A and B are shown apart, each in its own frame.
Chain A
Amino acid sequence: MTALLSDELLANIGRSNPPQRELVTRRDIRKYAVATGNRQRKYLDGDQAPPMFHVPLFWDVVELDQLTPDGVSIDTLLPKFPLEKAMAGGLKIEYHRDIFPGDWLTATRTLTAIYEKQGRSGPLIFYEVIMNIVDDDGQLVIREKTTRILR
């Protein structure tokens, strides 16, 4: 147990969301490629999904009454932290194989770490979420680690 992080809070490490299975479609690829200003024809035509297409594919689709007044969906994987002001976070993505229209992909998000550090102006809480994305054969397609900092 540390100053801010109770044993109860730390017990959330290892929690996972239920696996989410989604279908990759040409139309969704095309919309993403256009919206991001991509210039490669294979992506604009939807023949292949560009890097980071997993971001829209697995963004939570929640109903209107589940959004906060500022339009944000609540991440049900996260416990209530004693610090709540979000600072810059980071993302690390490994691309293990390419993604094509017709692929069914399944993502599982796991809260893998919660730790505290002393910042210049006070304590900071760090947490990490790993999202593993596999195909229907169970092969790893993408592994993404998100690190967020709260003050």
Chain B
Amino acid sequence: MTAAGKPARFDSIRPGDELPQRAFKPDNVQSMLYNAVLWNGHRIHFDEPYARDIEGYPGLVIAGPLLGDWLNQCVEEWLGDDGRLAAIEYSNRIATYIGETLYSGGVVTACRPDSGEVDIEVFIKNEAGDVVTPGRALARFYRF
């Protein structure tokens, strides 16, 4: 803890710091459970002949908000108990399919000591390194 009353962790964070990456390889079971929890009956997520033959996808599509959720998890796991995720935004730019391995991660882009806030650029990348889901998050560190 510093004289300013903020946790020591905040003072050690710098723009350019990277958040730990995590690999995800969702299978049919996880995809089915996720869409069932949402009550999402869209066939492109579970009906492979439909996804391929009617919609022209190379396989079963991973639901966009699942990738968005992983961005939230990326920030929250990095924050631990030192702060909370205050806001996040993202967009699903490139479709991803069951069988792919995807990676979540992020980079700190700004730290504001006055408010204890940190801006983070977050991403989901595919195996080729393309950013399929870019986003930005705002984390707020707790004042002790």
Binding site for B on A (CB under 8 A): 28, 31-32, 34-40, 50-52, 55-56, 59-61, 67, 70-73, 88-95, 98
Contacts and interface: CB of A to CB of B under 8 A. Distances in A.
Interface stretch (B7-15, B31-39, B109-117, B118-126): B31-39
B69 A52 contact: yes
Contacts, number: 90
B88 A89 contact: no
B70 A71 contact: no
Interface in B49-96: 50, 54-55, 65-66, 68-70, 72-73, 76-77, 84-93
Contacts of A51: 69, 72, 76, 85, 88
A94 B38 contact: no
Given A37-B70, A51-B76, A56 B38 contact: yes
Contacts of B77: 39-40
A39 B41 CA distance: 26
B61 to A, nearest CB: 12
A56 B37 contact: yes
Contacts of B143: none
A36 B24 CA distance: 10
Give the contact-size bracket for chain B.
35 or more
A94 B139 CA distance: 11
Contact of A88 (B33, B54, B92): B92
Interface of B: 24, 26, 30, 33-34, 36-44, 47, 50, 54-55, 65-66, 68-70, 72-73, 76-77, 84-93
Contacts of A93: 87-89
Contacts of B50: 70
B90 A90 contact: yes
Given A90-B90, A93-B88, A55 B41 contact: no
A92 B89 contact: yes
A88 B91 contact: yes
Given A40-B76, A59-B38, A61-B39, 5 more contacts: A36-B66, A50-B73, A56-B38, A89-B91, A92-B87
A61 B72 CA distance: 25
19 contacts: A34-B33, A36-B66, A39-B73, A50-B69, A50-B76, A51-B88, A52-B65, A55-B69, A56-B38, A61-B39, A70-B42, A70-B54, A71-B41, A88-B91, A91-B89, A92-B87, A92-B88, A93-B89, A95-B86
A108 to B, nearest CB: 19
